[in-house]
Amino acid sequence: SAVISQKPSRDICQRGTSLTIQCQVDSQVTMMFWYRQQPGQSLTLIATANQGSEATYESGFVIDKFPISRPNLTFSTLTVSNMSPEDSSIYLCSGGENEQFFGPGTRLTVL
Amino acid sequence: RKEVEQDPGPFNVPEGATVAFNCTYSNSASQSFFWYRQDCRKEPKLLMSVYSSGNEDGRFTAQLNRASQYISLLIRDSKLSDSATYLCVVIGQGGSEKLVFGKGTKLTVNP
């Protein structure tokens, strides 16, 4: 298994600002993903974080809004840019090989 | 048809009951299957992988029927601590390694 940590655990941000969320895995993993989860809803995949190349985004998510870095096999960042209240959500990262393990999430509130 | 569909629930059962969750997936090329549980305001945690031969872990039994594209999870002798949302997850839709989540089934075990 892999142990995933995320920071910050929560933040309250002003409209128009940006927040970068960090995801650290305790071992090298091939696959890392970023998700968003609204209260009472299931997880929505934002993108696959690819090591050494641009992230692969799902429909409805674009690089300008959610730039992602993956400099190595244990670390990734997701930035939520030019935030609006609609971006308020829980953001989760996962990492692993076939089995994916999740970080504790970042609870973002945009005022 | 949704990629991964689950019983909508919610399920309310007494302690000691046996409860079964079902899940269907749309893409016959899917390769890997999992059940995750998610507690309120927490990240999803891997409960068990689902193998073609079926697998059992204590009170939990998972089965896969590839011909019917159907996955099940059986919980015997339910405990209060089993109360959570159970997520059916499939990998390999369309050759991708990304996880596709069902919307989840909420279980409440009552004393």
Average pLDDT over residues A79-105: 94
8 Å CB contact between B56 and B75: no
8 Å CB contact between A42 and A59: no
Note the pLDDT of residue B3.
86
| Of the candidate ranges A57-61, B8-12, B21-25, B45-49, the one whose mean pLDDT is the lowest | B8-12
CB contact under 8 A, A43 and B44: yes
**Closest residue on chain B to A89 (Cα):** B41
pLDDT at A19 > cutoff 60: yes
Note the pLDDT of residue B89.
93
Which of A1, A98, A103 is facing B43, going by the closest CB pair? A103
Mean confidence (pLDDT) of chain B: 91
Q: Name beta bridge partners: B33.
A: B50, B90
pLDDT at A102 > cutoff 90: yes
Which of B34, B91, B101 is facing A43, going by the closest CB pair? B101
Each residue's pLDDT tens digit, B50-62: 988 889 999 999 9
Pairs of CB atoms within 8 A across A/B: 38
Give the model's confidence band at B30: pLDDT under 50 very low, under 70 low, under 90 confident, else very high: confident
Q: Where are the beta strands (DSSP E) in chain B?
A: 4-6, 11-14, 19-25, 32-38, 44-50, 55-57, 60-65, 70-75, 84-91, 99-101, 105-110
Note the pLDDT of residue A64.
97
Note the pLDDT of residue A99.
87
pLDDT at B49 > cutoff 80: yes
Note the pLDDT of residue A31.
86
> Which residue do the tokens 């896969």 mark?
B64
**B15/chain A closest Cα distance in angstroms:** 24
**B45/chain A closest Cα distance in angstroms:** 7
**Which range among A28-32, A62-66, B66-70, B89-93 has the greatest average pLDDT?**
A62-66
